Amino acid sequence: MKGISLALQLKPVWFGADDEIFDSTELAAAFTRQERSALRFLIRPTSRRLVQEMINKHTARKRVNRTDGGQKAFTDEDVLDQAAFVDDMTDLIILDWEGLLDEDEIPLPCNRENKLALTNSYPKFGTAILESANWVMVRHERQKEESEKNLPGMPDGSAAGSGI
């Protein structure tokens, strides 16, 4: 008899701009905590698989010039396009927001162009967004581990949730 493999559903999580994770960002310097409390961001949970897929998408084999002991040598290496990786991850992770207004005080649409403009204008904020998605992933993994530990064993002696 095979064990049962469980998967908790990953749900997006709302983060307020007044959450601790944003305290060291440019938002903290530009707005009071009370002002930031009106800003909220809906963050998509990531997974190790999703991050690896993005890394693979933005990694290319390139010929790199290396100098070793005075000798020039060319080697083929996998090189990650970090800017494209971060841009795509940011676009994927931020699902929605509330409280962001344009210069005419009209709600700013949550689209790729605006997401990248926001995170490029406030790079520490962009880093915090990526960290928040990682936090959700780690929290999910811990919850999954805990739920698997609390399941009774299977009749064949395998652990429930082991998938074996």
The per-type count for the chain, helices as H runs and strands as E runs, is 6, 5
Q: Token pair of 157, please?
A: 């002696």
55 contacts: CB under 8 Å, gap ≥ 6: 80, 85
Select the more confidently predicted residue: 43 or 64.
43
Express each pLDDT in 1-56 by its tens digit.
Answer: 455 544 546 788 888 887 887 888 887 888 787 888 888 999 988 888 888 999 99
* 136: region left, alpha or beta (phi > 0 left; psi from -120 to 50 alpha): alpha
Instruction: Count CA atoms closer than 13 A to 153's CA, side-chain side.
Output: 4
Q: What is the mean pLDDT of residues 45-70?
A: 85
**pTM over the 0.85 mark:** no
119 contacts: CB under 8 Å, gap ≥ 6: 86, 90, 125, 126, 129
Q: What is the mean pLDDT of residues 86-108?
A: 93
pLDDT at residue 157 in the model: 47
Kindly report the average pLDDT of the chain as a whole number: 81
Query: Bridge partners of 13?
Result: 43
Beta strands in the chain (DSSP E): 13-16, 40-43, 59-68, 71-80, 94-98
What percentage of the chain reaches a pLDDT higher than 70?
85
pLDDT at residue 160 in the model: 47
